[in-house]
Amino acid sequence: MVVAPVQGAQAVEKVPFLAGETLFVQGAPGDAAYIVESGAIDLYHVNEVGQQIHLGTMTRGCLFGEMSVIDGSPRMATAIVRDPSVVLCIPAEMLRAKLQGIDPFVRGVIKILMENLRTVHRVYLKVPRSFDDHATQFRETSESLARFCQDTGLGQDNPEVAHALAAVTQAVAALEALAAQGVGRALEGPDPLAGRPGLQT
């Protein structure tokens, strides 16, 4: 169950949560920001291939959920309570009203910081996290290298380069065959979201 803030609330509320409850889900609009007073909140992101990535754990004093409130973008993560927690819920209307009251230059700086932070998140989410991910990244890198060598003529002018590219192509094929067989999956940890309540909301 997703526990939503009180609609139309204009003041900060102190709200208790039980372990397993969901504060918000990825893709939802930002209706509030949160500060952890006690307990722990896990943030997870599901990427375009369905991989669930643990972004971090928010503990006492941490602010989270503010980005979508400030820039109007959908939530980029799902927030699930790890331990019984108490959070301060800051309504979106209140936070936006506070931001409107500050210097326009400062608002512009905050907007730039939000854009930079989202860029950092996008880069972080592309970091390979499994054998399959590394095999895919190796293939994409080898294809980019092959295109570069073709465009510059290195592959035709230098037999050693051509031989090395052929060896890389064989290595990529071998790695992808191993990935298809499930090699490396036994070394990967369990699904971080498996069995946690609130994921179907």
Domain ranges of the chain: 13-102, 131-184
Asked if residue 153 has pLDDT above 50, the reply is yes
pLDDT-based confidence at residue 63 (cuts at 50, 70, 90): very high
> Does pTM surpass 0.75?
no
Nearest to 140 by CA among 188, 50, 148, 154: 148
**Could you say which of 1.10.10.10, 2.60.120.1570, 2.60.120.10, 3.40.1010.10 is the CATH number of the domain covering 13-102?**
2.60.120.10
State residue 102's pLDDT score: 86
Per-residue pLDDT for 197 more than 70?
A: no
Q: Which of 38, 40, 133, 141 is nearest to 81 (CA)?
A: 40
Other CB atoms within 10 A of residue 189 CB: 8
Q: Cβ distance 92 to 31 under 8 Å? A: yes
Tokens of 89: 């819920």
pLDDT of residue 187: 53
